[in-house]
Structure 1
Amino acid sequence: MKNIKHKSQMSFVTIILGLMGILGIFFLAGCEKETLDIQENFPFEVKVMPVPKEIAMGETAEIRISIISNGDYTGNNYYLRYFQNDGQGTLRYFDHKPYLPNDLYPLAQKEFRLYYTSESLVSQNIDVWIADSFGNEKQLSFQFNNKKQGPIIIGPVR
């Protein structure tokens, strides 16, 4: 009798352990692995200081630009390209050669200055595009009206 009681206790313990094992498997299978999301794509905004509304032929306007991003990823680079829609002029960075329209130029810093020099007697319009490595883009449009220059007087007026 003692042997039967011992066998029934062992089968009860075996059943309980088996059920606990099965529940443990279901519990572990139901848990999702937590993954660490690493954000590499940081949308950005562009801030521009006010620029002159009028510019004379041969005159240069300074355009101060700041790129503001929500995060910083070292693998992200910024680029600039521009289009001259109306009039004629040149756009350059600091003392570098003038940019060519529609070419892509890397930006070394998030804060920089561009210089637009008028080569036209009519109003001028340029679009500047700033893009990052992930395809995010911002468009900036600048319009410069022709500054009327007064008459040039050479020598004494009689």
Structure 2
Amino acid sequence: MITIFNKFRMGLLPIYVLLAILTASVTLVSCSKEDELEIQNNFPFEVNVMPVPKDVANGQTVEIRITIQRTGNYNNTQYYLRYFQYDGTGTLQYYSEPSYLPNDLYPLASTQFRLYYTSTSAVSQSFDVWISDSFGNEKQITFQFNNSD
């Protein structure tokens, strides 16, 4: 009777060894630092602009509709705007706020907004708008208007 029991125990030995190896490997893998939870807060974005007229007259105002398309959403991300006009003259403003000053950084209240460009020039005008976020991602948009006078 003892020999049957010993044979039975010996037959289970490979199963016990296999279970011990599996338990050890699962324990080692689950303790790995690579599996730590990473919280991503830096999401790239794209900027969509509705079409604008090609021509603008001196004193005319053009509406520019802009939407920031995020690839992810981190609630604490702040977006900013700055612009620089390199041809002609004009003013750029957010809704009825005071006009922006070139190269100054302005916070944006939302990811969908309208800018208003008013021409003060009798020649063609060109300016760039940069949209950036609080993580250093930045997109540049170039606007060019021919004079329609």
Q: Supply the distance in 2 between the matched residues of 1:30 and 1:108 (Cα, whole angstroms).
A: 45
Equivalence map 1:70-109=2 (5 Å)? 70-109=71-110
Stretches of structure 1 lacking an aligned partner (at least 5 in a row): 1-18, 149-158
Amino acid at match of 2:64: I
Q: Secondary structure at the match of 2:39?
A: coil
Q: SS in structure 2 opposite 1:58?
A: coil
TM-score, normalising length: structure 2: 0.80
Separation (CA, whole Å) in 1 of partners of 2:29 and 2:71: 35
CA distance in 2, matches of 1:69, 1:25: 43
Rounded Cα–Cα distance in structure 1 between residues aligned with 2:44 and 2:145: 29
User: RMSD of the TM alignment (CA)?
Assistant: 1.9
Is 1:133–2:134 an aligned residue pair? Answer: yes
Following TM superposition, the consecutive aligned residue runs of length 4 or more in structure 1 with deviations greater than 2 angstroms are 22-31
Q: Cα offset for 1:25?
A: 9.8
TM-score, normalization by structure 1: 0.75
- Which residue in 1 is equivalent to 2:114? 113
1:1-41 deviations in Å (ceiling 9; x for gaps): xxxxxxxxxxxxxxxxxx9xx96996444551421121101
Corresponding residue SS for 2:99? coil
| The structure with more radius of gyration | 1
SS in 2 for 1:131: strand
Structure 2 alignment gaps of length 5 or more? 1-16
Correspondence list, 1:23-38, <5 A: 27=25, 28-29=27-28, 31=30, 32-33=32-33, 34-38=35-39
